[in-house]
Amino acid sequence: MDMVFLKIKPLTQQDFQKLQSSWNEELKEANKNLSYHPKLFLGYGLAAEDFILGGEEMVYWEIILDLENQEVYDLPFDEENPPLTSQEKLDQYEIVAYDDVEEDTINWYGE
C-alpha cells in the first residue's frame, strides 16, 4: 500500500525526549539510530488511496520525519482504536514524502 507522509510540526528536544520515553522495545530497536536535531518533525502517515479519496474519517498514524536524512520513523500506534482525521484538517499540512511500494522507494518533496 502506497503511503503519504505529511509534515505537522517541528519537534523540540523536549518533545523528542517525551516521544522516546513512550517507545516499547521494538520501537527502541527500530529507531536506535535516531537522535535529536532541528530538522525533525512530527508527521502523519496515511494510505495514499485514503488521502486521495478524502473523507471525514481517515486513519492516520504519527511518525517522526527526519528531513535532514530523509528518513521516516514509526511511533506507537493503537491498531484497535486508530486515530481518525478528516481531509479538511489535513489540507493545512504539507506533503513531504510519498512511499511508492511497487518501486520500493520514498520520494521526498521540498526541503
Residue ranges of the domains in the chain? 3-108
| pLDDT for position 59 | 95
Q: How large is the average pLDDT for residues 79-97?
A: 93
Instruction: Report the alpha-carbon distance of residue 29 to residue 90 in Å, rounded.
Output: 30
| pLDDT tens digits along 15-72 | 999 988 888 888 888 888 899 999 999 999 999 999 999 989 999 999 999 999 999 9
| pLDDT for position 111 | 58
| pLDDT for position 61 | 94
Please check the confidence at residue 98 and state whether its pLDDT lies above 80: yes
